[in-house]
Structures are given as C-alpha cells and as structure tokens.
C-alpha cells in the first residue's frame, strides 16, 4: 500500500501498531483493519475567472465499510495528499467507533489554496469534484462534511450537484450544510462546544478551577474560534490565538469578540491591536493551563513536547501530536491529554444527528441536539478515563484501544467474504 506513504499516514499506522500490539491483534487481522478499503483520485479541470483552465487533484478515501456508510470531512488545503487523507480517514474510523456511531471513517480533499480562488471558482471546483465522486458516494455509502478550508456553502453545492444528478433532493448526502436546506441546529458549533465540554470535564478531573486558567488556542477557524468562545463562557481567560500566518498574545486575556471582528475584516489576525505578535511555534510554548491545537497535524513533536507548559492538552485538531512527542509526554504526568479522536468528536456526532434527521425528515430543537451531544461525549470520556486509570495506559492508548477493538470485533462477527 505504498500509495499512502506519507509522514501523516505513517504516523497513523504507528499509532495503530502500538495499540494493536497491546491488544494482541493477530497479524492476519491487522492489514484488514489498517489499510483503507477504497480510495479514489480524480483530476478536476475547471474554467478559471481569467479564462484559463486549471486542473486540481481531488481524493476520497473510505477506510472501512463494516459498520455502515463511511463518514468524514472534505479538506481544501495546498498540502493535501492521498496519504494525509488516508490517515485522516483512519482516525475518523476510530473516532466513530469510540463514540458508538454506525459509520466507518472517510476523508476527502482537494489540493488547492481556497484563499486564492474566487467564490465562483470554488463553486465550479466543488461541483466538478462532486460529479467525479458520484459513483463512489451516497447517503448510505459515504457522507461528506466540512473540514479545513470548506464550510456550509461547500456542502450546499455538493448536495445540489448530487441532487440534480439523482433527480430529487438528497439532503442526507452531506452533513454540515446550512439549516435552511436540511442542516442540523448546532452542527456549526458542535466540534468547538464538544472541545469546551471535555476541557471542562478535564478541569474537574485534574482539580483545576476554570477561572484560574489561561488558554492558548492554535487555529482560529470554525473549531478554534468556537472552542475559545466556549472556554471564555466557562470562565477561562484566552490569552493567545493564531491563524496560518501567526498568533497574537496578551497575558491579560484577549477580547474574543474584537478578535473575531478584526479577523473578519482583515482576513488575518496579524496586527491585532493590544497584543504581541508570536509565531505558531512560539505560541505552543506560551505559559498556560490549557493548550488547544486546533489546526494541522504534527504540531507537537519531539522538538517541543518537552517544552510545552500546559496542564491540559486538548487536541481539537486531528493528529496534532506525533508518536515521538507522545513518548516525551508519557514522562510528563502533570499534563492531561484529551486525545483527538475523543476531543474533536463533537463535529461528527452532530453530523450523525443531522444525517438521522435528514433520513427521517424530522428535525430536532437545538437543545435536543446539544443534550444528546453532551451525553455521548460524556460516555466516551468516562469510558476512556476509566480504561486509562484501570489499565494504567495513556488517554490516547485508551481511546484508540476502545475504537480499534470495536471495529475489530465487528469485522470478526461479519467474517470474510467469500
Ligand atoms: N471534519 C470533521 C472531523 O474531522 C467532521 C467530520 C464529519 O462531520 O463527518 O471530525
């Protein structure tokens, strides 16, 4: 399976192998669990606004189909590769299994810089991608959602393109779409609110009081910004946030509403008044109680894991901590880690609710959505913490073990065809 060879995919495999060793999963079951079931690469030619034609690469990886349709986001980013997408699909599998959702993992991506494309170019690219993916997706086959660089509008275009193809409206083909066309109340905020909820639980567990805590958030996109606001609501002081260009730091606390307004206007945090500029690398090392990587993979590495200063590391991003960093963090019991597949699961949980609502054409109130979200997060948190304590393993090992074991069991029960 050399096509997936890439640092992020290798990292996901390493995590899997460590847990598989611990669970004593026999060698002949490992390949089936680890490698993606199906993947698709497409060339996406579009007409650009200047009259030229450009071709982009698009991918979709479906990791396993054992428990139901596959589920996962669609990422627009210049560094997207099939290996990265495969790693993200694998993490989606363990995330869905950990939280008890009837899905396998999937992920998609287009290698592009969405900031450099106009809205009409983005629409053409998204519609072309959807068209190319039609043989591969379906509301009972593979259901997409937003990820980095995509949003509700992207999902609306996918739903429209797919529905035009089928001849009737199929809202269940995507989640994270606007509420006006079958989206769920609370979906946009779900990931960040889930992160906030779990941080609050981690504060209880570690005996810290929210109003004595400072938080540093790397990434101020949908997940990072909602997390920051949600922490502020719990009484935490958010002292630094960042975007892809760098961060802003004020040890006295940032005015988040002003930061959000500034970012909307300037499309960047750089130059935000009353705060010190820091790089994304410096930001991770700032003194704080709560550190939230909410951007790309592989941010906490062997180079900085010994130097981070937090008490709670809440992994809102997928794969922000490398296995080499984990070895160092294992020697730092003062840091409580909420591992990614647990920490950011709120998004896919409410995606699941959205899909169920679409299939039944019966919609819930926001408080029903939030109540059900927090119940599932609470159960997953309690099960992970319980295993971590009882078996004296890290929170990451516990979360991955629970997820991987459930998929392994399902595969065993279904057997191998023919
Ligand atoms: N992209 C999000 C994730 O990584 C959400 C996926 C979904 O809702 O299907 O979990």
- pLDDT tens readout for residues 376-416: 999 999 999 999 999 999 999 999 999 999 999 999 999 98
> Ligand 1 pocket: which residues have CB below 6 Å?
71-73, 145, 147, 175-176, 318, 344, 347-348, 351
CA distances to 116, 134, 157, 264, 330 from 120, rounded to whole Å, are 12, 21, 11, 20, 48
Q: Which two tokens stand for residue 157?
A: 């275009």
Q: What is the pLDDT of residues 109-162, one digit of tens each?
A: 999 999 999 999 999 999 999 999 999 999 999 999 999 999 999 999 999 999
Domains in the chain, please, with CATH? 2-169 (3.40.50.10860), 190-338 (3.40.50.720)
Cα–ligand 1 centroid distance for 240 (angstroms): 25
The 10 Å CB-count burial string (b at 16+, else e) for 240-252 is: bbbbeebbbbbee
Give the whole-number percent of the chain exceeding pLDDT 70. 100
Q: Among 62, 109, 176, 188, which residue has the most ligand 1 atoms within 8 Å of its CB, making it the best to mutate?
A: 176
233 is catalytic: no
Residue 339 Cα to ligand 1 middle (Å): 15
* 140, burial (CB in 10 Å: exposed 0-12, middle 13-18, buried 19+): exposed
Give the separation between CA 227 and CA 292, rounded to whole angstroms: 9
Which ligand 1 atom sits nearest the alpha carbon of residue 148? 1
With cut-offs at 50, 70 and 90, classify the pLDDT of residue 1: confident
The one catalytic residue in 34, 95, 107, 237 is: 107
């Amino acid at each position: 399976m050399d096509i997936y060879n890439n640092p992020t995919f290798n990292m996901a495999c390493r995590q899997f192998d460590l847990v598989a060793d611990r669970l004593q999963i026999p060698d002949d079951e490992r390949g089936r669990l680890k490698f993606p079931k199906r993947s698709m690469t497409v060339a996406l030619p579009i007409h650009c606004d200047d009259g030229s034609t450009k071709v982009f690469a698009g991918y979709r990886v479906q990791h396993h189909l054992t428990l139901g349709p596959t589920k996962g986001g669609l990422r627009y980013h210049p560094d997207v590769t099939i290996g990265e997408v495969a790693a993200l699909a694998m993490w989606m599998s363990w995330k869905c299994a950990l939280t008890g959702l009837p899905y396998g993992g999937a992920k998609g991506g287009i290698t592009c810089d969405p900031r450099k494309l106009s809205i009409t170019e983005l629409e053409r690219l998204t519609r072309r991608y959807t068209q190319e993916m039609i043989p591969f997706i379906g509301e009972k086959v593979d259901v997409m959602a937003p990820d980095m660089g995509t949003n509700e509008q992207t999902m609306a275009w996918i739903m429209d393109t797919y529905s035009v193809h089928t001849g009737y409206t199929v809202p269940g083909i995507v989640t994270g779409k606007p509420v006006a066309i079958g989206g769920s109340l609370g979906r946009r905020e779900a990931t960040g609110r889930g992160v906030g909820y779990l941080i609050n639980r981690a504060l209880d567990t570690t005996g810290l009081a929210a109003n004595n805590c400072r938080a540093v958030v790397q990434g101020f996109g949908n997940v990072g910004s909602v997390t920051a606001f949600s922490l502020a609501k719990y009484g935490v002081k958010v002292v630094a946030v960042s975007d892809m260009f760098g961060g802003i730091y004020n040890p006295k606390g940032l005015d988040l509403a002003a930061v959000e307004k500034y970012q909307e206007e300037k499309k960047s945090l750089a130059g935000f008044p009353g705060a010190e500029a820091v790089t994304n690398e410096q930001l991770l090392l700032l003194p704080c109680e709560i550190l939230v990587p909410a951007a790309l993979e592989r941010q906490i590495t062997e180079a900085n894991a010994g130097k981070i200063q937090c008490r709670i590391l809440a992994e809102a991003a997928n794969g922000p901590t490398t296995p080499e960093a984990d070895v160092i963090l294992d020697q730092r019991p003062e840091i409580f880690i909420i591992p990614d597949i647990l920490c950011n699961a709120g998004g896919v949980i409410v995606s699941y609710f959205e899909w169920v609502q679409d299939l039944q054409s019966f919609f819930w109130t926001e408080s029903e959505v939030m109540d059900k979200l927090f119940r599932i997060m609470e159960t997953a948190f309690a099960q992970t913490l319980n295993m971590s304590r009882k078996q004296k393993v890290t929170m990451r090992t516990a979360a991955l073990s629970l997820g991987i074991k459930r998929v392994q069991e399902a595969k065993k029960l279904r057997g191998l065809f023919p």
